[in-house]
Amino acid sequence: MSLMRIASSKCVRPLTACAAILSASLFAGTTADAGQADDTLNAAFTKEVENVDLYYTTAREGLILSHSVWDGLTYRDPVSGKYVGNLATAWRWIDDTTLEFDLRKGVKFHNGEPFDADDVVATVNYVVDPKNGVKAPQNVNWMKSAEKVDPYKVRIHLVAPFPAALEFLSSVVPIYPNEYYAKVGPSGMATHPVGTGPYKVESVEPGRHFVLKKNEDHFKGPKADATIGTVDIRTIPEVNTQLAELATGGLDLIWGVPTDQAEMLQAQGGFQVMNKETMRVGYITMDAAKRTGDTPMANKKVREAINYAIDRKGIVDALIKGSAQVIDSACSPIQFGCDQDVKTYDYDPEKAKALLQEAGYGDGFSVEFYAYRDRSAAEALMNNLSAVGIQPHLNYLQYAALADKVRQDGIPVGFMTWGSNSIADVSAILPEFFGGGGQDQARDKEVMEAIETGDTSIDEEVRKESYGKALKRIADEAYWVPLWTYGTNYAMSEETDFEPTSDEIVRFFDVKWK
């Protein structure tokens, strides 16, 4: 979480009164009429996205722009979760590390350049080259190279078997026009982007303002043609200001609205407010591997006790709200391979006390507790721990500092969250936290092996089984307290017709006027 957000929530918290005034005032006059009249959808980003070029941003806003402006070889239907052809029409595994694609004919980039195998080969070979410094190398470094078979057939060679290939190709590997990219380079692409998607970019003011225009020559593929003529996106960091703009018709669609404000908007009427579940999950990590020295967390009974001590449902109902739900498995239930058949720990403080007694901590102990967001939830979790005799001492850090600490030295106990980059596959979460890397606080060989098997097989059944094995052991050993999923709130004017998806990607081509 950004410092800005921490600071602004600090400023704005005592300001519930102000939010109340703001909302009382929304009541007074609501005539959202700006958008439809001039066929312009006005939307807002909260964060300044650094680059329109997805290869050079890690922001979700980049993913959102990329989905409307560019296309990947494949596409994941956000509703069914199935992979369908996009710039490719068919594909096949030649062997464990070679994927072959038949490319779609007759597709044109926004600048008129025709799409063919050369574009795919140039894009892939450019982004996999480490010296080009792609900002999220994990998105592309599973590919070794691309090879042209004929003008409409390419092969992508993988570094090692990578089962999530289609997922990555669908979301984070947009294809660029080779001739244009060779001419203008990344800086040219950042200011004058050219893709094949349903929208073309009319103007970019870096970080601040983006204007998209409907692409009239959009090919008939899995993405719908855009129906709204113009999409005008401004960056407005303050949520209260976004709400004011929504109220005055300056904006038609916003997302990431805090739950208390979403509830007020909903109560007033005049807007559509929706909460949609996302892939982000909250969890408590515990130092089972003794990375911080000799700690009670290394004792399985203590970890189990902590699992029983947490009233997850109570916290979800009182604080997290929306479409959030309690989870038992260490992943998002939406993700492929997220086995739900694992040991569960229902809220039972008495059992927790008994387990602590058994473990030799009948008098309790004190522990450093780390968190970086949702301070109220963090405090509720700490109350749950105190209730069974564990005295937590809160260390509230900026995300970068906390993640750094976990990677370097580990932390005894921490409340954190993970969004899996919206990748609907457990390979976006399990290897990161249980694969033996910096964020792995369990370092369990058995779990690591099972994950490795799942990560390197392209057989769906084998993957399901081995990830299931890992998840069962994680629950049995109580390495985490899986907490809850997060929902996100969308607010839009009454004439805006949009159905949010669980990958948190706003597809502007799926937005219509009512």
Partner 1 sequence: MLRFVVGKIVMAALVALTVSIISFSLLHLSGDPAVAMAGENANDAAIQAIRETYGFDRPLIVQYGDWLFSALRGDFGESYYFRMPVTQIIADRLQITMLLGLLSITFALVLSIPLGVAAALRPNSLVDRAALFVSVVGQAIPSFWFGLILIVVFAIDLRLLPASGAKSWTGFVLPTIVLGYYATPAIMRLTRTGMLDVLSADYVRTARAKGLPARKVIFKHALRNAIIPVVSLAAVQMGFMLGGSVVVESVFALHGAGYLAWESISRNDLPTMQALVLIFSMFYIAFTVLADILNAWLDPRLRVA
> Which residue ranges make up the site for partner 1 (CB under 8 A)?
2-5, 7-8, 11-12, 15, 18, 21-22, 25-26, 28-29, 48, 50-51, 56, 58-59, 130, 133, 135-138, 186-187, 190, 206-208, 234-238, 240-241, 244-245, 247-248, 250, 398-401, 403-404, 407, 418-421, 432, 437-439
Q: What is the number of other CB atoms lying within 10 angstroms of the CB of residue 140? A: 20
Please, which contacts does 105-110 make with residues 24 or more away whose CB atoms are closer than 8 Å? 105/152, 106/219, 107/196, 107/219, 108/196, 108/217, 108/219, 109/177, 109/180, 109/194, 109/195, 109/196, 110/194, 110/195, 110/196, 110/200, 110/201, 110/215
In 3D, which of 299, 302, 301 has the Cα closest to residue 290?
Answer: 299
Cβ at position 19, least distance to partner 1 in Å: 9
Nearer to partner 1, 203 or 386 (CB): 203
b (16+ CB within 10 A) / e for 372-394: bbbbebbbbbbebbeebbbebee
Nearer to partner 1, 352 or 371 (CB): 371
For residue 254, what are its two tokens?
């916003």
Nearer to partner 1, 72 or 249 (CB): 249
What is the SS3 string spanning 107-145? CECCCCCECCHHHHHHHHHHHHCHHHCCCCHHHCCCEEE
Nearer to partner 1, 247 or 331 (CB): 247
Cβ at position 402, least distance to partner 1 in Å: 9
Nearer to partner 1, 432 or 495 (CB): 432
Cβ at position 21, least distance to partner 1 in Å: 6
Residue tagged 């519930």 (tokens): 16
**Side chain identity at residue 427, one-letter code:** S
Cβ at position 248, least distance to partner 1 in Å: 6
**Cα dihedral 58, 119, 141, 433 sign:** positive
* DSSP run (H or E) holding 325: none
Integer distance in angstroms from the first to the last C-alpha of the chain? 35
Q: What is the DSSP letter of 51?
A: -
Beta carbons of 141 and 153 less than 8 angstroms apart: no
Nearer to partner 1, 149 or 403 (CB): 403
Nearer to partner 1, 14 or 106 (CB): 14
Q: Torsions phi, psi of 386, nearest 5? A: -60, -35
Nearer to partner 1, 215 or 421 (CB): 421
Cβ at position 491, least distance to partner 1 in Å: 15
Nearer to partner 1, 26 or 302 (CB): 26
For residue 89, what are its two tokens?
């029409």
Nearer to partner 1, 103 or 257 (CB): 257
Cβ at position 365, least distance to partner 1 in Å: 29
Beta carbons of 332 and 281 less than 8 angstroms apart: yes
Cβ at position 18, least distance to partner 1 in Å: 5
Beta carbons of 383 and 512 less than 8 angstroms apart: no
In 3D, which of 79, 483, 513 has the Cα closest to residue 281?
Answer: 483
Cβ at position 50, least distance to partner 1 in Å: 5
CB proximity list for 89: less than 8 A, separation 6 or greater = 102, 103, 104
Nearer to partner 1, 2 or 366 (CB): 2
Cβ at position 238, least distance to partner 1 in Å: 5
For residue 46, what are its two tokens?
């909260």
| C-alpha R_g of the chain | 24
Cβ at position 449, least distance to partner 1 in Å: 19
Cβ at position 301, least distance to partner 1 in Å: 31
Beta carbons of 280 and 486 less than 8 angstroms apart: yes
Q: Torsions phi, psi of 188, nearest 5? A: -70, -40
Cβ at position 149, least distance to partner 1 in Å: 31
Nearer to partner 1, 230 or 241 (CB): 241
